[in-house]
């Protein structure tokens, strides 16, 4: 007669043993999750750099086909299309319903194919990037978390105006190269288009001149909003006038080098950042540059991607970009003597 197995020699897991196993698994998860999170952030940071490089390569394709860098933005002369009149480019939009033509439209719009629209996004940025000033009829292109309105006071989904611009952009340009719209500012200085040979022929050259960087954010895009209106079409202004400060259009045209990199006292520490930082009336617009990559232990926070005219990309803090004087030897986009005094310390 067969005997039944002795269960005393084949015991199951006890409750204590199960609890120990669960505790070990929880400990391993606690150890591994931060490492996995760090690896994910590092991968996203690399993707942001790659996208910035793609965007600059697209700009290079554009300048190969044209004599100038594209304007950061201009007032359009119609509700659709990318045409504009130089005489319309003053301090105010003569026809607000026409919206803006942004430099991104020179790369992806109208079948240009110089850079894909997705290259303007960064995976670390909220929704990939900041919305257009005038997003148009697609509600998904708006930013309801910031109570966004367009330039004419409309809310989602307002059909017109609709800017000729990527739906989301994490990147902004150097206004000393990407000229603004003020071809007739009515002041001492006005804007002009910039020929790439000016940067290539400078002492520092294309490899030491920043073209594109990232917008800053803290989970939303309030840093580049004014009165609930996104200002994602604006570039950052890296220079101050020696006598006019941030009001660069008022800097008199003199034989001396009249511009400088901003003093470091104009770069806000991370705990001072609030409100609209892209405003011409606020602190220097370099405060709108991102600080969300890498370590954030210092008073100025983390880093941003900086893409140079030659196409290479570096990550650094905005303060380092000023200390190293990487924004150019001239305020190329302004008329008159636009030399930057590089002997002055920030």
Query: Alpha-carbon distance 328 to 177, whole Å?
Result: 9
Q: What does pTM read for this prediction?
A: 0.88
Averaged pLDDT score across all residues of the chain: 90
CB atoms within 10 A of CB 123: 15
**143-172 pLDDT per residue, tens:** 988 889 999 999 988 899 999 999 999 999
**67-88 pLDDT per residue, tens:** 999 999 999 999 999 999 999 9
CA 33, 119, 320, 241 dihedral sign is: negative
Query: Alpha-carbon distance 222 to 42, whole Å?
Result: 25
pLDDT band at 109 (very low <50, low <70, confident <90, very high): low
pLDDT of residue 37: 53
Q: What average pLDDT does the segment 48-68 reach?
A: 95
> Which residues are CB-contacts of 184 (< 8 A; sequence separation ≥ 6)?
87, 89, 90, 190
Looking from the CA of 328 toward its CB, the CA atoms found within 13 Å total 31
pLDDT band at 307 (very low <50, low <70, confident <90, very high): very high
Query: Alpha-carbon distance 40 to 46, whole Å?
Result: 10
**According to the per-residue pLDDT averaged within each range, which of 109-113, 129-133, 293-297 is highest?**
129-133
Are the beta carbons of 198 and 332 closer than 8 angstroms?
yes
pLDDT band at 21 (very low <50, low <70, confident <90, very high): confident
Q: DSSP letter at 199?
A: H
> Which residues are CB-contacts of 190 (< 8 A; sequence separation ≥ 6)?
182, 183, 184, 249, 334, 335
Query: Alpha-carbon distance 157 to 62, whole Å?
Result: 32
């Amino acid at each position: 007669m067969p005997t039944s197995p002795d269960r005393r020699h084949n015991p199951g897991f006890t409750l204590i043993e199960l609890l120990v196993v669960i505790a070990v698994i929880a400990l391993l998860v606690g150890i591994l999750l931060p490492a996995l999170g760090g690896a994910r952030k590092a991968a996203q940071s690399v993707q942001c750099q790659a996208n910035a490089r793609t965007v600059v390569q697209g700009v290079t394709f554009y300048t190969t086909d044209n004599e100038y860098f594209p304007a950061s933005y201009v007032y359009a002369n119609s509700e659709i299309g990318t045409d504009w009149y130089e005489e319309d480019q003053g301090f105010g939009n003569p026809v607000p319903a026409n919206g803006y033509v942004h430099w991104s439209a020179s790369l992806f719009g109208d079948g240009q194919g110089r850079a894909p629209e997705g290259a303007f996004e960064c995976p670390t940025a909220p929704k990939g990037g900041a919305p257009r000033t005038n997003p148009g009829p697609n509600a998904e292109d708006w930013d309801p978390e910031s109570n966004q309105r367009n330039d004419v006071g409309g809310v989602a989904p307002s059909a017109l105006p609709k800017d000729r611009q990527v739906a989301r952009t994490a990147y902004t340009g150097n206004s000393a190269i990407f000229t603004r719209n003020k071809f007739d500012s009515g002041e001492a200085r006005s804007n002009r288009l910039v020929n790439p040979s000016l940067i290539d022929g400078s002492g520092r050259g294309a490899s030491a001149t920043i073209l594109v960087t990232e917008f800053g954010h803290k989970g939303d895009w309030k840093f580049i909003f004014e009165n609930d209106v996104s200002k994602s079409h604006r570039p950052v202004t890296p220079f101050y006038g020696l006598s006019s400060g941030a009001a660069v259009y008022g800097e008199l045209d003199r034989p001396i080098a009249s511009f400088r990199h901003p003093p470091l006292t104009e770069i806000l520490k991370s705990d001072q950042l609030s409100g609209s930082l892209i405003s011409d009336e606020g602190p220097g617009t370099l405060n709108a540059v991102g600080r969300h990559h890498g370590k954030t232990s210092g008073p100025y926070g983390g880093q941003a991607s900086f893409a140079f005219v030659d196409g290479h990309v570096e990550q650094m803090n905005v303060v380092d970009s000023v200390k190293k004087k990487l924004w150019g030897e001239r305020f190329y986009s302004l008329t008159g003597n636009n030399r930057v005094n590089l002997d002055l310390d920030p």
